[in-house]
Amino acid sequence: MQEKQAARRSTGGAPATAVLGSASELPGKPVAASASVLATLVEVADTNPMGNIHGGVIMKLADQAAAAAAIRHSQHICVTASIDRLDFLNPVRVGDMVELKSAVNYTHRSSMEVGVRIEAERLQTGERKHVATALLIFVALDENCRPVTVPPVIPETPEEQARFRDGQARYKERAEKRQRERSSARPG
């Protein structure tokens, strides 16, 4: 509920106050401030003998695109804590241009969920396809490589607010899972 209030508290890109209900006391930043685009041409070395891109190439590009959004948002060094999901929807061919759009969906204290939408364009025809979607979790680190508090993200549009709520639910699920794993790993 408090985070819903935070979501409505748009600062119009010039945040001056901490976002109420957030795990962070820092001034909030809109999703748009982290939005990033990475584009590249698919080369022969990126593809299998069928001429389709290797999944690992998409994973690396998604990691890079998501890192750009996380660093933009936090203005800190960030590490990938986990890849929550990566769905391949359509093949990408040699010679296609791949475009990755990333932005921070949700922030807690030091962690950020970043969404990446990946499209491919067949340059000869202009045909564009949504080829993959990824969700990655980044943690911002200070100069001693310890997790550091990031500004709360402020979702402004209805789509951003829906992604924020979904990211919040996923954060809770992951935290509970890690807690269960820690408990079961304890001796006795």
Ligand X SMILES: CC(C)(COP(=O)(O)OP(=O)(O)OC[C@H]1O[C@@H](n2cnc3c(N)ncnc32)[C@H](O)[C@@H]1OP(=O)(O)O)[C@@H](O)C(=O)NCCC(=O)NCCS
Q: Which residues bind ligand X (CB under 6 A)?
A: 79-82, 108-111, 137, 139, 147, 174-175
Q: Which residue is nearest to ligand X (CB)?
A: 108
Q: Residue 33 or 81: which CB sits closer to ligand X?
A: 81
Q: How far is the CB of 151 from ligand X (least distance, A)?
A: 12
How far from 118 is each of 2, 9, 101, 157, 159, CA to CA, in Å?
32, 30, 6, 21, 17
In degrees rounded to 5, what are phi and psi of residue 58? -65, -40
Nearest partner of 164 among 119, 106, 120, 107, judged by Cα: 106
Q: Residue 65 or 120: which CB sits closer to ligand X?
A: 65
Q: Residue 27 or 147: which CB sits closer to ligand X?
A: 147
Q: How far is the CB of 161 from ligand X (least distance, A)?
A: 19
Q: How far is the CB of 40 from ligand X (least distance, A)?
A: 20
Pairing of strands 29-30, 153-154: parallel
Q: How far is the CB of 97 from ligand X (least distance, A)?
A: 26
Which amino acid belongs to residue 18? A
